[in-house]
């Protein structure tokens, strides 16, 4: 074992291997062990504002002076502040060497510092699926979100899109609005209007991470202009204007519109082709809060990060204090349990569902039988009365060469076990004219694209088609494309990709909260980018695109939040979130419990769907709300054994205290943990509800449970005499898990005795190994 090293990295910048003993050791390993590398990396630094000397006129002045004083600690390293944060947190981000970081830790007012991290993006008729109606309900009650400002933290925006025209918009901006439109490359401030009222971009963290790496750092338009499409899509989903004749190459034809079509949009670009970094995310969130947005919609997040290092969690706490609702995507790592990100107690965490609408075509056999299937082939193709071929070699569709030999000029049936996407690729390279793929893979229908004149049908229908092809000579087939089917299946189902709870960051609060439409969502797109592909080489552009992910579900929920903000400006952020959770539907369009998407289609648990599908009209009038204060969340952090410094990172203030630590937050859902199947779980929850109805009312408790779980509520009847009265109750849960690794779940419903309100809270019992061993 090498016990001593001589490091020369300080003065020899271009030497890769220069640490000497009796052996040569790679420089990076040595400097990792001994921290002798002076290369600076970006850190997010949290400071205690109360330590700022009076000589400084601003926090930025103090931070800049502090960083400048560190330069003497390291030779050849000059640091400067990337961002100064004053709203989402108190602190800054800067590139620091190990020596500078150590010196900073000894500076008065220092709380904590952590390295910058990369985040991941969670990437028309959905409003009808949510029952939004022009004649009654939340749309007219909120005036379609008029003058509410939604801050979208994403990859930028394509301002010329018809979705961002300001036709019909109120011209004046809200009095509290302080934002602006920042010019840049290919983006003039004049592109903003009464719809798009704010536009800013943040990439200092990205540039610092790629310092000196010019070949890799090609950020495209150094401005708010979207070069990825993601931000344009999410922004138009949440608040896009009315656009007639929108479609995806003939699919989903109709009038596109956002969930809150009269709300205003402010775009904060933090995501670039090379990624998104926490320092840039914090800067965007910090600015959104300062600008005065009403809602923040963010369809990205970080995985396996503690709350006190999570930029969304840190910024969202500040937003909560100011009444700003933060809506965030749950992630696309499903269906594994414990895969969720943004599982933050004070954030609305949104999972993704499929809808009752599907896209496809029709297979017509020579004998006249017809079969509907899935396709998104982006052209009005002609596959008319061609020979239908089924080859006995099951792997024929795995080889373009073999296909060209056995099915040239024909429609081929593919039913091998090979991935359908790979089959589509092989068929595209062959001399085949059309294809029928047999599959029930849910991910294909949720996120797939079709680059060839093909149709995917179910295994059940596939048997009939194969039998026809074998028994009939000559067999023939016709395929029709560009069809949209509505109401032909049970919906919603939980999308297979949607990340599941429990939350690694905080398992004591149920996540996700709700789900919203996320699969095959039509919204605005960047016309410079491909929206579809035909074969291996032909790409097609379009002004609208179909995308899937919790990134698409999140802006649906954000749009509903904007509508509620307009209809109920007096509600707190927690009350808005409560209204959405307690009115969400656990049933599908057939009146049966929502299922997970897939071949087995098991009943969905709250770990997959939260409380269920968001229901905007019911959320307008929820009856009761569970209101939660910032101190309630601090009590939770105290119970989680966070240090004073870690809590201060999130709260930015010493005004909060740990006098009443508790895992029992006044949240509209319930979570308990089972140590193992042989132990009975017993847990008592205490809650308080606020009456937001008119006139006197009485509510009676109704419970349901599964898997040997018993629930009791005391008192089981709540009486309210006037609006805003509060009543307390307790819920006791006893559960003995009957099956290894089982998840037990149920619900508590407060049912209005002489009215129509049903205030529902999901309940779940989770095996501990799912929570603490993700």
Give the residue numbers marked as catalytic. Answer: 154, 230, 551
Report the C-alpha gap between 113 and 509 in whole angstroms: 27
Polymer length of the chain: 774
Q: Is 259 left (phi over 0), alpha (psi -120 to 50) or beta?
A: alpha
Report the C-alpha gap between 458 and 454 in whole angstroms: 14
Report the C-alpha gap between 543 and 247 in whole angstroms: 9
> Could you identify the residue written with the tokens 């943990």?
673
DSSP E strand stretches across 181-278: 196-201, 243-248, 251-256, 264-269, 271-272, 275-277
Q: Is residue 123 helix, strand or coil?
A: coil
The strand pairing partners of 44, in sequence order, are: 93, 114
> Could you identify the residue written with the tokens 């496809």?
360
770 sits in which H/E element: helix 768-772
Tell me whether strands 476-486 and 357-365 are parallel, antiparallel or unpaired. Answer: antiparallel
The angle that helices 573-583 and 311-321 make with each other, rounded to 10 degrees, is: 110
Q: Is 143 left (phi over 0), alpha (psi -120 to 50) or beta?
A: left
**Cα-based distances in Å from 544 to 158, 242, 305, 329, 369:** 12, 13, 34, 21, 34
Sheet containing 300-301: which strands, arranged edge to edge? Answer: 271-272, 275-277, 118-121, 300-301
> Could you identify the residue written with the tokens 């092989």?
426
- Angle, CA of 264, 265 and 271, to the nearest 5°: 170
| 553 within 8 A of 353, measured Cβ to Cβ | yes
The 10 Å CB-count burial string (b at 16+, else e) for 722-738 is eeeeebebebebbbbbe
> Could you identify the residue written with the tokens 């990859």?
155
Tell me whether strands 493-494 and 370-374 are parallel, antiparallel or unpaired. Answer: unpaired
DSSP 49: G
Residue 404 C-alpha from the chain's centroid:
43
């Amino acid at each position: 074992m090498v016990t001593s090293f001589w490091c020369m990295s300080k003065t020899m910048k271009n030497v890769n291997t220069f640490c000497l003993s009796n052996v040569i050791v790679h420089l990076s390993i040595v400097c990792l062990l001994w921290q002798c590398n002076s290369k600076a990396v970006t850190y997010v630094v949290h400071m205690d504002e109360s330590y700022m000397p009076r000589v400084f006129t601003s926090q930025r002045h103090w931070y800049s002076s502090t960083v400048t004083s560190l330069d003497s600690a390291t030779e050849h390293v000059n640091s400067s502040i990337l961002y100064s944060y004053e709203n989402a947190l108190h602190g800054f981000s800067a590139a620091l060497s190990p020596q500078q970081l150590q010196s900073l830790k000894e500076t008065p007012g220092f709380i904590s510092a952590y390295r910058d991290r990369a985040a991941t993006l969670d990437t028309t008729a959905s409003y009808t699926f949510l029952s939004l109606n022009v004649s009654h309900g939340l749309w007219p009650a909120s005036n379609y979100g008029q003058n509410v400002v939604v801050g979208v933290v994403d990859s930028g925006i394509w301002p010329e899109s018809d979705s961002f025209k300001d036709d019909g918009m109120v011209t004046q901006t809200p009095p509290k609005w302080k934002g602006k439109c920042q010019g840049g490359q290919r983006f003039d401030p004049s592109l903003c209007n009464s719809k798009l009222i704010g536009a800013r971009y943040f990439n200092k963290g990205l540039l610092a991470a790629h310092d000196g790496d010019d070949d890799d750092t090609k950020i495209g338009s150094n401005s708010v202009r979207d070069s990825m499409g993601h931000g344009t899509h999410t922004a138009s989903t949440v608040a896009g204007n009315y656009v007639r004749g929108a479609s995806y190459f003939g699919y989903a034809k109709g009038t596109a519109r956002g969930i809150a079509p009269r709300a205003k949009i402010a775009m904060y670009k933090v995501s670039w082709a090379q990624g998104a970094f926490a320092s840039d995310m914090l800067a965007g969130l910090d600015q959104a809060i300062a600008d005065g947005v009403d809602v923040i919609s963010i369809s990205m997040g970080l995985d396996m990060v503690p709350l006190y290092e999570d930029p969304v969690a840190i910024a969202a706490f500040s937003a909560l204090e100011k009444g700003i609702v933060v809506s965030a995507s749950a992630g696309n790592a499903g269906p594994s349990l414990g895969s969720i990100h943004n599982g933050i107690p004070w954030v609305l965490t949104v999972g993704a569902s499929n809808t009752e609408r599907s896209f496809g075509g029709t297979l017509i056999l020579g004998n006249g039988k017809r079969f509907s299937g899935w396709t998104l082939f982006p052209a009005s193709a002609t596959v008319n009365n061609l020979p239908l071929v089924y080859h006995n070699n099951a792997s024929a569709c795995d080889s373009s060469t073999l296909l060209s030999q056995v099915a040239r000029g024909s429609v081929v049936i593919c039913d091998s076990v090979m991935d359908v996407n790979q089959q589509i690729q092989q068929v595209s390279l062959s001399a085949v004219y059309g294809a029928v793929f047999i599959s029930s893979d849910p991910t294909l229908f949720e996120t797939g694209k079709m680059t060839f004149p093909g149709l995917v049908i179910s295994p059940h229908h596939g048997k009939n088609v194969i039998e026809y092809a074998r028994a009939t000579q000559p067999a023939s087939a016709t395929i029709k494309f560009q069809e949209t089917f509505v109401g032909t299946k049970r919906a919603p189902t939980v999308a297979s990709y949607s990340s599941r709870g429990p939350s690694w960051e905080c398992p004591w609060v149920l996540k996700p909260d709700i789900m919203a439409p996320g699969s095959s969502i039509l919204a605005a797109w960047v016309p410079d980018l491909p929206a579809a592909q035909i074969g291996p080489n032909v790409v097609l552009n379009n002004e609208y695109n179909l995308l899937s992910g919790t990134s698409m579900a999140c802006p649906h929920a954000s749009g509903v939040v904007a509508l509620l903000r307009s209809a109920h400006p007096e509600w707190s952020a927690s009350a808005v979130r409560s209204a959405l959770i307690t009115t969400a539907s656990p049933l599908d369009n057939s009146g049966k419990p929502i299922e997970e998407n897939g071949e087995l289609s098991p009943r969905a648990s709250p770990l997959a769907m939260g409380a269920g599908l968001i229901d905007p009209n019911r959320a307008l009038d929820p009856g009761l709300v569970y209101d939660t204060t910032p101190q309630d969340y601090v009590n939770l952090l105290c119970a989680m054994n966070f240090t004073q410094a870690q809590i201060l990172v999130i709260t930015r203030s010493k005004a909060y205290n740990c006098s009443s630590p508790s895992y029992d937050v006044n949240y509209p859902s319930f979570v308990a943990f089972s140590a193992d199947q042989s132990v009975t779980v017993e847990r008592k929850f205490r809650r308080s509800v606020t009456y937001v109805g008119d006139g006197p009312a009485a509510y009676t408790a109704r419970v349901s449970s599964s898997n040997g779980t018993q629930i009791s509520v005391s008192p089981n009847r709540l009486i309210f005499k006037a609006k805003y009265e509060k009543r307390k109750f307790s819920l006791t849960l006893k559960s003995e898990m009957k099956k290894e690794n089982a998840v037990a779940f149920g619900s508590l419903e407060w049912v209005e005795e002489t009215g129509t309100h049903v205030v529902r809270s999901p309940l779940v019992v989770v095996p501990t190994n799912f929570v603490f061993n993700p």
